[in-house]
Amino acid sequence: METLTNIRTLTLPELKAYFESIGDKKFRAIQTYEWIWKKNAGSFDDMSNLSKELRIKLAEHFSLPAITTDATQVSSDGTLKSRFKTFDGHFIEGVLIPTENRNTACVSSQIGCSLTCSFCATGKMERKRNLNFDEIYDQVAQLNAQSEKVYNKKLSNVVFMGMGEPLLNYSNVLQAIDKITSNDGLAMSPKRITVSTAGVAKMIKKLGDDKVRFNLALSLHAANDAKRDSIMPINESNNIEVLVEALNYFYEQTKNDITLEYILLKDVNDTLQDAADLVKIYRKIPTHLVNVIEYNPIAGASFIKPDEDTTQQFTDYLVHHKVNVRVRRSRGKDIDAACGQLANKG
C-alpha cells in the first residue's frame, strides 16, 4: 500500500503548486495552510471552508497525522497534564502550568528516552522513536488551545522539559520551534522558549553554530563528575568540563540565556560542599540563573528530597556567594505531572 505524504511537510509554495496541478485556485493553498498550522486542524474534515470534494481529494493524496488528546488530568494546583496519542498508537505527555504571570507548556520531544537518568520516570522507559516536528508543534498548539479555553489566555512560554532528550532529536526540535515562532504558526517569541538538555556537548555547540534564538537549560543535578556519573550516565561521555566548554561556546555564538537545573537529592548532592562545587561551575559559565528543583518521587527509585532546613542552607550558601538562584517548587505532583514524573501513567 502506498504511503501518503504528510501534508504538513509541504511548504506553502509546494502546496500552491499542488493546487495548480489539480486545476484549483492558489488561494486554496493559503486556506489549507492556515488550517494545518494556525487553526491546528486534526483532519481534512475540519477544513470547513473547503468543499467536500476538495477535502476528499486531499485525503486521497495526503495524510494529516495529527496527535489527539487521549486523556487530561487536573491537579489541585491548576496544572493540567494531557496524554497525547500519536498516529501510530504511541503515547506522550504534555503539561500546562498556569501561574499568575505566565502560562507555560512543557512538551515532549521523544517517545520514551534513552538516557536512563536514575531520578527520572521517563528515563526508565524504552525510547520508541523521535517525535516528528509536526507532532511537537501539535503539543504546543493543543496546550495553547487548552490554556485559552480553561484560563482565557494564550501560552506565554514553552519549555522542552517533557519526555525525551531534545538534542537527540535535533532537527525535528528546531523545525518545530521554527514553526512555533513563525507568523504562519503560533508567532511566539523564541525568547519565550527554553530547550533543556541532559548535556549533549556536541549538539550544544551545534546550537551555537546554528545561531538559535531560544534559551538553553542544562540539567546539571550534580556538581562533580563522580556524583553526576552515578545518577546521569550521559556524564561519562559528556563530563562537566566538556559541558562548560560547550556552554561557553553556545553563549559566545548566541548571547542567549543559560539556566542550570539542579534537583536536590537527600544525601546525594545536598551538602554545602556540593553547593561550593556548584558555585565554581556557575562562575565558569555565563549562566543567568540556577534553578534548585524539588525532587518528585517516582516508582523504582529510592531518592527522597532533603528537608526544608537542608534546602534553605544549600540555597543560602549559593546566595551568599552571589549566585542568582531560584527554588522551583513542583507543580502537578498529585497527577504525576511534575519534573521527572512523566511516564504515561494517565
User: Residues in the chain, how many?
Assistant: 346
Bridge partner list, 328: 293
93 is catalytic: yes
Q: How far is CA 71 from CA 84, 147, 240, in A?
A: 7, 16, 39
Catalytic residue from among 14, 60, 93, 308 = 93
Contact at 8 Å (CB) between 137 and 176? yes
The residue among 317, 324, 247, 318 whose CA lies nearest residue 285 is 247
**Residue 127: DSSP 8-state:** P
Residue 203 CA to its chain's centroid (Å): 16
The residue among 233, 260, 240 whose CA lies nearest residue 323 is 260
Catalytic residue from among 106, 113, 117, 339 = 339
Residue 27 exposed, middle or buried by CB count within 10 Å (0-12, 13-18, 19+)? exposed
State the amino acid at position 196 in one-letter form: S
Take residue 32 and report the three cell numbers written for it.
Answer: 489549507
Active site residues: 93, 339
